[in-house]
């Protein structure tokens, strides 16, 4: 990664002086990066955002932007643009006046401010809505105005806290693309908080997974999906089969799974024979077994759920529950109560060390 632009150093927060809502968070973001905080409710995502914004003080640790500590700088002097889930526009100001507000606070000359605000309005696709009040606009339009207002003063950082949470699915998806386009074109370093993993996968350069006030993993969407560092991340992002495995010859890439038998896995040169671990198999890496394929098992099918383009086949292999996502056509002939042979490519299994 390039030189860090945003740095969180050992950041902790306790609201009550006893328990820690945030516990030793370290993170760096490069200039222009789009980073998403993803995690269950109460895991510390918003707390981290509030500390960066300066609305809450850190109990311990430092926050740096471009090499300078902002930990003790008041929020209005941090130069950070923020968009929350509830639009928080000024109801008695028009769209243009809302966007002008941060520039008026900064005492920018009127003509220059108006030109800048109009430019932002165009960037979010609302030129024709300049004179509308928030109540005369849809939720999606209001969020565009909020985004324009957060960006108009060229902020050092853009913080987005579930900005699409209140919108319906279609609007959400089109705004995801829109926000990403605007963020890229301005090159503004962005932190985005969401509960929605597909949103995180679609938008982020990197995803940071929070749990219990700590960062469990930070990585690109594919790293997080393909190579989760622990069971929590594997379960939280995407659908998963997590199978207990005993390594027989780690360097050669062999192991044994109860109910399935000997299997091949990616070579694990650093591990010992006899070591216990967990093998992650995403449901879509399982397919109908070809004759003589390695890593074959017989699934006693309990349930088949058809989605059209694909189907989820749920069942049991020698007492171990297993779920496979098969292409719709391949799943057509599979009936509940039957047995089906499945296999997976050894390279598609990902080994997670036992906790």
Site residues (CB under 6 A) for ligand ATP?
A: 15, 21, 39, 41-47, 195, 210
Q: Residue 235: count other Cβ atoms within 10 Å of its Cβ.
A: 13
**Please, what is the minimum distance in Å from the beta carbon of residue 32 to ligand ATP?**
24
What are φ and ψ of residue 263, in 5° steps? -135, 160
Q: Which of 139, 165 has the CB closer to ligand ATP?
A: 165
**Please, what is the minimum distance in Å from the beta carbon of residue 21 to ligand ATP?**
3
Say if CB 99 and CB 143 are below 8 A apart.
no
Q: Which of 15, 307 has the CB closer to ligand ATP?
A: 15
Q: Which of 45, 144 has the CB closer to ligand ATP?
A: 45
**Please, what is the minimum distance in Å from the beta carbon of residue 210 to ligand ATP?**
6
What is the DSSP-derived secondary structure letter of residue 135? G
DSSP β-bridge partners for residue 208: 37, 218
Q: Which of 43, 94 has the CB closer to ligand ATP?
A: 43
Q: Which of 38, 245 has the CB closer to ligand ATP?
A: 38
* C-alpha to C-alpha distance for 199 and 177, rounded to whole angstroms: 10
**Please, what is the minimum distance in Å from the beta carbon of residue 45 to ligand ATP?**
4
Q: Which of 19, 335 has the CB closer to ligand ATP?
A: 19
Q: Which of 41, 68 has the CB closer to ligand ATP?
A: 41
**Please, what is the minimum distance in Å from the beta carbon of residue 303 to ligand ATP?**
31
Please give the C-alpha separations between residue 57 and each of 39, 69, 99, 140, in angstroms, as whole numbers.
22, 13, 28, 32
**Please, what is the minimum distance in Å from the beta carbon of residue 197 to ligand ATP?**
13
For residue 18, give the H/E element and its range.
Answer: none
Cα 266 to chain centroid distance, Å, stands at 26
Q: Which of 41, 335 has the CB closer to ligand ATP?
A: 41
- Contacts of 112 by beta carbon, 8 Å cutoff, 6+ apart: none
What are φ and ψ of residue 262, in 5° steps? -70, 140
**Please, what is the minimum distance in Å from the beta carbon of residue 44 to ligand ATP?**
4
- The pairing of beta strand 310-317 with beta strand 296-306: antiparallel
* C-alpha to C-alpha distance for 301 and 342, rounded to whole angstroms: 11
Say if CB 199 and CB 164 are below 8 A apart.
yes
**Please, what is the minimum distance in Å from the beta carbon of residue 268 to ligand ATP?**
34
Tokens of 332: 């057509």
């Amino acid at each position: 990664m390039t030189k860090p632009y945003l740095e969180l150093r050992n950041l902790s927060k306790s609201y009550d002086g006893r328990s820690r809502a945030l516990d030793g968070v370290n993170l760096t973001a490069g200039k222009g990066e789009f980073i998403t905080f993803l995690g269950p409710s109460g895991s510390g995502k918003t707390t981290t955002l509030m500390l960066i914004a300066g609305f809450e003080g850190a109990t311990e640790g430092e926050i740096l932007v471009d090499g300078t500590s902002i930990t003790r700088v008041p929020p209005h002097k941090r130069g950070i643009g923020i968009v929350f889930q509830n639009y928080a526009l000024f109801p008695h100001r028009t769209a243009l006046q809302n966007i002008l507000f941060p520039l008026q606070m900064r005492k920018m000359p009127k003509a220059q401010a108006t030109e800048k605000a109009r430019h932002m309005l165009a960037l979010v696709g609302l030129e024709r809505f300049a004179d509308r009040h928030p109540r005369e606009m849809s939720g999606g339009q209001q969020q565009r105005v909020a985004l324009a207002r957060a960006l108009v003063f060229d902020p050092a950082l853009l913080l987005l806290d579930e900005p699409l949470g209140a919108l319906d699915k279609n609007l959400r998806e089109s705004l995801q693309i829109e926000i990403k386009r605007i963020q890229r074109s301005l090159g503004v370093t962005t932190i985005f908080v969401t509960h929605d993993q597909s949103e995180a996968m679609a938008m982020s350069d990197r995803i940071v997974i929070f749990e219990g006030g700590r960062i469990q993993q930070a990585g690109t969407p594919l790293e997080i999906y393909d190579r989760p560092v622990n069971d929590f991340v594997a379960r939280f992002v995407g659908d998963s089969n997590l199978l207990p495995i005993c390594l027989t010859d780690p360097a050669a890439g062999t192991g044994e799974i109860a109910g399935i038998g000997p299997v091949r896995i990616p070579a694990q040169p650093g591990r010992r024979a006899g070591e216990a671990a967990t093998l992650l198999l995403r449901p879509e890496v399982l397919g109908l077994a070809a004759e003589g394929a390695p890593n074959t098992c017989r699934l006693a099918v309990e349930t088949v759920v058809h989605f059209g383009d694909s189907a989820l086949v749920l069942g049991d292999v020698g007492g171990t529950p297993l779920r496979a996502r098969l292409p719709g056509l391949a799943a057509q002939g599979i009936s509940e109560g039957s047995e089906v042979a499945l296999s997976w490519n050894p390279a598609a299994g990902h080994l997670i060390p036992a906790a």
